[in-house]
């Protein structure tokens, strides 16, 4: 049985990891694609590992299962309308620890003045002691989590020792309750998926509810925030700052104001990264491959295209 490894993933797998992959997938024909296109090799593949263009899926008559190398799958959601019985699985939960730690690192960069001091370093400007009075700690902060998935569950564990007051909400929460807590929030962590329901979830009303002490962290999807209004309240210093792992457009356009705002941390959608990321993805796939061979219905992380998660 042929397994097609998508171009982007294929290019990220180093030679030693390919050797490991092949040794663990004996009996399967692994095809490492150099360029994703509808070809003879792809047309006879029953399994895809990685994110291929949705149009390739439309053209395939042999494909049975796609294991994405991402958590998000919004570009594939329209495929639900096609009469194809293809199972799609994602990496839900795979990046949770890494992303939660990126969020935490960004928060400490604000509270402990790292972002401010780094700006001074670039200017070769020493201020020293006067900075001390502007520094904060994480203890007892009022934290609002948006999204009940694996990222915020891990983040909650990480901040437990700091005695924070944590409130959790999702897209089904009552707006009145959410707004009440947004007004008091010193930290807002958004880890929403990218669906139609979450588009501009953080609209002008919710963003305007945030106070001057608030740090807004988005480690979910860029579509969930009215970015133009976020930029406006950041420019006017109506909130303390924003830590954005995701943005509306990626890569971020060079003329975006987000590049120059001193109260913004941009981590360029790297939040889920680690030195073991690629081999971890391979191991996850191999584990699911064993399930596929025994019973397709036992695959982990099957996605619901209609719901977007």
Domain range holding 232?
A: 96-266
pLDDT at site 81: 84
Residue 109 resides in a domain: yes
Give the residue from 1, 237, 245 showing the smallest Cα distance to 99.
Answer: 245
Residues 115 and 70 in one domain: no
Q: How far apart are CA 144 and CA 78, in angstroms?
A: 32
- In total, how many domains does the chain have? 2
Q: What percent of the chain has pLDDT over 70?
A: 100
Distances from the Cα of 66 to the Cαs of 60, 86, 146, 276, 298, in angstroms? 12, 7, 29, 22, 14
pLDDT at site 12: 96
Distances from the Cα of 26 to the Cαs of 22, 76, 209, in angstroms? 6, 30, 56
Residues 149 and 226 in one domain: yes
What's the token pair of residue 297?
């219905």
Residue 83 resides in a domain: yes
Residue 218 resides in a domain: yes
Residue 303 resides in a domain: no
pLDDT at site 309: 73
Whichever domain contains 43, its CATH number is 3.40.50.720
Residue 15 resides in a domain: yes
Full DSSP string of 29-84: EEEE-SS----HHHHT-SEEES---HHHHHH-SS--EEE-SSS--GGGGGGGGSS-
Residue 308 has pLDDT above 80, yes or no: no
Secondary structure class of 98 (helix, strand, coil): helix
Mean pLDDT of 248-273: 97
pLDDT at site 85: 86
How does 189-218 read in b/e, with b if 16+ C-beta sit within 10 Å? bbbbbbbeebeebbeeebbebbeeebbbbb
Whether the CB-CB separation of 70 and 284 falls below 8 Å is answered with no
Work out the burial of residue 273: count CB atoms within 10 Å of its CB; fewer than 13 is exposed, 13-18 middle, 19 or more buried: middle
Residue 282 has pLDDT above 90, yes or no: yes
pLDDT band at 84 (very low <50, low <70, confident <90, very high): confident
What's the token pair of residue 208?
């305007």
pLDDT band at 3 (very low <50, low <70, confident <90, very high): very high
pLDDT at site 76: 93
Mean pLDDT of 251-272: 97
Q: How far apart are CA 247 and CA 221, in angstroms?
A: 7
Per residue in 142-193, pLDDT (tens digit) is 999 999 999 999 999 999 999 999 999 999 999 999 999 999 999 999 999 9
pLDDT band at 305 (very low <50, low <70, confident <90, very high): confident
Residues 176 and 219 in one domain: yes
Question: Where is pLDDT greater, at 82 or 222?
Answer: 222
Angle formed by the axes of helices 114-123 and 96-111, to 10°?
70
Mean pLDDT, the chain, rounded, equals: 96
pLDDT band at 306 (very low <50, low <70, confident <90, very high): confident
Mean pLDDT of 5-16: 97
pLDDT band at 108 (very low <50, low <70, confident <90, very high): very high
Residue 46 has pLDDT above 80, yes or no: yes
Residues 107 and 241 in one domain: yes
Q: How far apart are CA 65 and CA 2, in angstroms?
A: 12
Residue 250 has pLDDT above 80, yes or no: yes
Residue 307 has pLDDT above 80, yes or no: no
Residues 157 and 55 in one domain: no
Mean pLDDT of 79-102: 93
Q: What is the pTM of this model?
A: 0.94
What's the token pair of residue 243?
């830590």
Residues 186 and 288 in one domain: no
Least confident residue range of 20-24, 202-206, 264-268, 303-307: 303-307
Residues 116 and 230 in one domain: yes
Mean pLDDT of 201-228: 98
């Amino acid at each position: 049985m042929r397994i097609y490894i998508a171009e982007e993933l294929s290019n990220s797998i180093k030679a030693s990891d390919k050797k490991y992959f092949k040794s663990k997938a004996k009996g399967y024909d692994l095809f490492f694609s150099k360029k994703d296109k509808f070809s003879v090799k792809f047309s006879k593949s029953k399994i895809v590992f990685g994110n291929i263009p949705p149009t390739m899926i439309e053209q395939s008559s042999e494909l049975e299962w796609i294991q994405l190398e991402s958590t998000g799958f919004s570009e594939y959601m329209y495929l639900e309308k096609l009469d194809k019985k293809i199972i799609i699985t994602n990496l839900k939960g795979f990046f949770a620890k890494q992303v939660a730690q990126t969020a935490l690192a960004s928060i400490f960069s604000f509270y402990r003045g790292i972002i401010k001091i780094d700006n001074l370093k670039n200017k070769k400007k020493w201020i020293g002691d006067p900075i001390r009075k502007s520094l904060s700690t994480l203890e007892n902060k009022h934290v609002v989590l948006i999204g009940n998935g694996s990222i915020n569950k891990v983040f909650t564990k990480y901040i437990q020792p700091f005695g924070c007051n944590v409130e959790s909400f999702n897209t089904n929460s009552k707006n009145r309750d959410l707004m009440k807590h947004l007004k008091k929030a010193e930290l807002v962590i958004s880890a929403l998926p990218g669906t139609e329901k979450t588009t501009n979830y953080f609209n002008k009303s919710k963003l305007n509810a945030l106070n001057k002490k608030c740090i807004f962290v988005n480690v979910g999807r860029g579509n969930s925030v009215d970015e133009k209004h976020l930029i406006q309240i950041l420019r006017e210093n109506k909130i303390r700052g924003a830590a954005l792992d995701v943005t509306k457009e990626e890569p971020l356009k060079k003329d975006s104001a987000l590049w120059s705002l001193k109260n913004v941390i941009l981590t360029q959608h790297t939040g889920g990264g680690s030195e073991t990321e690629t081999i971890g993805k391979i191991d996850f796939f191999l584990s699911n491959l064993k399930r596929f061979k025994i019973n397709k219905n036992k695959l982990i992380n099957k996605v619901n295209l209609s719901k977007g998660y």
